[in-house]
Structure 1
Amino acid sequence: MGIALEAPTWPAITDGEAAAVLQWFPAAARVEALRWHSPRPFSAATLIDTARGALILKRHDRRVRSVAGLAEEHAFIAHLAAAGTPVPEVLRTADGASAVAVGDWTYELHRRGAGDDLYRDRPSWTAFESHDHAHAAGVALARLHEASCGFDAPARSVQPLVASFGILSAADPVAAAEDYVEARPALAAFLAGRPWRRALAALFAGAGEGLAQGIAGQVLLWTHNDWHPSNLLWADDGSVETVFDFGLADRTCAAHDLAIAIERTAFAWLELGQGRDDGIGDPGAALALIAGYAAIRPQSHADIAAALRLLPLVHVEFALSEIAYFAGVVGDVEAASLAWDGYLLGHADWFRSAAGLDFLARVDARGRVR
């Protein structure tokens, strides 16, 4: 959300807490040490050393993720694993559950995946170290989409912090946004004093007529929806060895997920408003990611055009979900305001600037610089 470091929202997992939770999982060995605590803002997580390998324990506020909510994404992970995608194993309790609820918390436990966590200490909105990494990430994303085919679960239930696809795919996105807000009382309360309908209508109008029609040919598909370098583990040869963190996964489409991957990795968003807005975009990174993707899943001009058409607004639904989280779960009105003004509106407005229009113009429907 900015360049300044912030204190974690949720308290760190303790040794005793980890030991107690691991007792629910028969395949987990005794805790030897908590090696690292994640600085990410939406949950608490720790890397645990055990006699039978490293584990990742993740703890959520129950208002953010219930056992049922985690089961939705864990079913997707299981499908991907069965299709050969390198994802961390989700451990299960003696009765087969993939998560446990204890008091106000919900816990999930994974084995650590193979590969180096090269981007672990970087903020989420951080570019790839090289265009080679961007290309490799595109290859991995395409392989994930190939593996996703056949997973026919419905879209996820209403819950915070999910990158859904109900607004941009609607023939009337403003009406769809109204339904989205109405289903989330904390979000509705936050937006009540703002001209949010007019603001969103202006964004949708700026995307041109027929956004939904332009993506109508896209096949619905469960997708990752948070494709950035720190959610990937890397091999020595620069390829992606493991994909993890499916917390935002939902039923969208390949063009939507590709657009999110570009939006997450081809822009120095944390520098927006810091005096160099004209230079935050890297078309070369976007093109490398598209090229890697197309090497596995050849794309028609229409497919790439759909991703580029979505790009300026692909963040909107997750931004609204973030606002619901900040306003309703955390009670942080300042963060909710930043998510509305700086993230939802700010990112979309950048694409309407001269720099944003130039970025889109340089990455054409054939996926190459003009």
Structure 2
Amino acid sequence: MVANPARVPEPEDHRVHGMGTEWEAPTWPAITPDEAAAVLARFPAAGAVTGLHWHSPRPFSAATLVQTTRGPFLLKRHHHHVRTREGLGEEHAFVAHLAASGLSVPDVLRAADGASAVKVGDWSYELHRQSPGADLYRDRLSWTPFLSRDHAHAAGVALAELHGAARGFDAPARRQQPLVASFGIVPAADPIAAMSAYVAARPAVRAFLAGRPWQAQCARLFDQAGADLPALMAQQPPLWTHNDWHPSNLLWREDGTVRTAIDFGLADRTTAVHDIATAIERTAIRWLDLGQGNDDTIADPASALALLDGYATIVPLGRADVDAIVRLLPLVHLEFALSEVDYFTAVVADPASAAMAWDGYLIAHADWFFAPPGRRFLRGIERA
């Protein structure tokens, strides 16, 4: 465990997104010019570093835009407890498949040994060419709504195109690691037993939950979701998906359409329905305002419907598809919230953020969907 990761003062004003609305000091030290130069020397196509021009505000890793004699590149660094070279290779293989299918995705460079990531000490690094498109949402928080219904519609179109490109990629689900949006609990014949196995395999999560009535809490949520939900989800065709489809993971053209999809760190073998529900959950509800006033007003069903309308221009959605999306929405965040608990307990000593992931993101989000405001939101999608 990295109990107190070292801070570096350069750049002094660098802040990252927290679990709430506040900007925070980074958990992971910013990448320095000397560090970037040493890593890029291992990538023959990168050229020599001439400067660093931006540090990412994403909280779970460190990333910087590196200018070199051969152009701009994005250098991303992960602690090896979060991503190993092999773990990065899983998502890079998916990205390569999408690129071969004609989708605009990051161009991942290969190191001198042919690998798509390198290990230096406790760190794993990946290097991408700067992707085309305007980064309109670069500094906005996750769970930030689209700036317009047109953007929501365009994101739906792009998500359907990604799902089409993903077909034929038949790699198994990713290995156990933090911060992956897996999908093995909700479709299980006995979800509580599957969740117990998930927790048992992660000692830090097990210790965190030891004093909580977590099985009773989750049994209540599954009861509210309906006894047939696991069987309904088990019928969905498996598909490798993005699993983090929100505006700041998209780069945009001037006409408001999506140019490039980025950040495949949460990608895994789930289902198209899971990815669509995740996209709605990430973008159509202002979760950061939950409990701050009127919870009746945090949802934007029109944005959800625009995303679904965009998706349907590429892949038609039948009544059964929409019903499955609506049924899954209250619990679609369950496994990623668990993976966040894993990160905040097994990787960094941050019990307060682990509690927020569990109490706020897993339990409170689901409870909102099962309360009158959330039920109205779900009915609005069904009826439209």
TM-score range, shorter chain: over 0.9
Name the structure 1 match of 2:296: 278
**Deviating runs (4+, > 4 A) in structure 1?**
none
Name the structure 2 match of 1:74: 92
TM-score by length of 2: 0.94
The answer as to whether partners of 2:188 and 2:234 remain within 8 angstroms in 1 is no
CA drift at 1:191: 0.5
CA drift at 1:171: 1.3
CA drift at 1:260: 0.2
Distance in 1, Cα, partners of 2:321 & 2:71? 42
Name the structure 2 match of 1:18: 36
CA drift at 1:49: 1.2
Name the structure 2 match of 1:53: 71
SS at match of 2:140: coil
The answer as to whether partners of 2:245 and 2:282 remain within 8 angstroms in 1 is yes
CA drift at 1:276: 2.1
- Provide structure 1 residue ranges, at least 5 long, that are not aligned to the other structure: none
SS at match of 1:101: strand
Distance in 2, Cα, partners of 1:305 & 1:54? 44
Root mean square deviation, CA, Å:
0.8
1:148 equivalenced with 2:166 (yes/no): yes
The correspondence for 1:348, drawn from 366, 369, 373, is 366
Name the structure 1 match of 2:189: 171
The answer as to whether partners of 2:107 and 2:128 remain within 8 angstroms in 1 is yes
TM-score by length of 1: 0.98
Distance in 2, Cα, partners of 1:93 & 1:215? 40
Distance in 2, Cα, partners of 1:225 & 1:184? 22
Name the structure 2 match of 1:132: 150
Name the structure 1 match of 2:6: none
Name the structure 2 match of 1:161: 179
Residue pairs, 1:130-279, within 5 angstroms: 130-279=148-297
Name the structure 2 match of 1:360: 378
The answer as to whether partners of 2:53 and 2:64 remain within 8 angstroms in 1 is yes
Distance in 1, Cα, partners of 2:101 & 2:322? 25
**Residues 234-270 of structure 1: per-residue CA shift (max 9 Å, x gap):** 0000000000100000000000000000000001111
Name the structure 2 match of 1:313: 331
The one-letter amino acid of 2:88's match is L
Distance in 1, Cα, partners of 2:313 & 2:201? 40
SS at match of 1:142: helix
The one-letter amino acid of 1:233's match is L
CA drift at 1:178: 0.4
Residue pairs, 1:287-302, within 5 angstroms: 287-302=305-320
SS at match of 2:71: coil
Distance in 2, Cα, partners of 1:53 & 1:140? 27
Distance in 2, Cα, partners of 1:182 & 1:73? 25
Distance in 2, Cα, partners of 1:135 & 1:344? 27
The one-letter amino acid of 2:45's match is A
The answer as to whether partners of 2:91 and 2:265 remain within 8 angstroms in 1 is yes
The one-letter amino acid of 2:343's match is Y
**Residues 72-106 of structure 1: per-residue CA shift (max 9 Å, x gap):** 00000000000001001000011210001101110
Distance in 2, Cα, partners of 1:204 & 1:212? 9
The correspondence for 2:61, drawn from 43, 46, 65, is 43
CA drift at 1:6: 1.5
The one-letter amino acid of 2:228's match is G
CA drift at 1:284: 0.2
The one-letter amino acid of 2:284's match is A
The one-letter amino acid of 1:236's match is E
SS at match of 2:21: coil
The one-letter amino acid of 1:76's match is F
CA drift at 1:8: 1.2
1:6 equivalenced with 2:24 (yes/no): yes
Distance in 1, Cα, partners of 2:323 & 2:381? 10
Distance in 2, Cα, partners of 1:11 & 1:172? 42
SS at match of 1:296: coil
Distance in 1, Cα, partners of 2:111 & 2:22? 39
Name the structure 2 match of 1:332: 350
Distance in 2, Cα, partners of 1:125 & 1:190? 25
CA drift at 1:328: 1.0
SS at match of 1:362: helix
Distance in 1, Cα, partners of 2:209 & 2:148? 39
SS at match of 2:317: coil
Distance in 2, Cα, partners of 1:292 & 1:74? 27
Distance in 2, Cα, partners of 1:78 & 1:253? 19
The one-letter amino acid of 2:23's match is L
**Residues 197-240 of structure 1: per-residue CA shift (max 9 Å, x gap):** 00111111110121022223311000000000000000000000
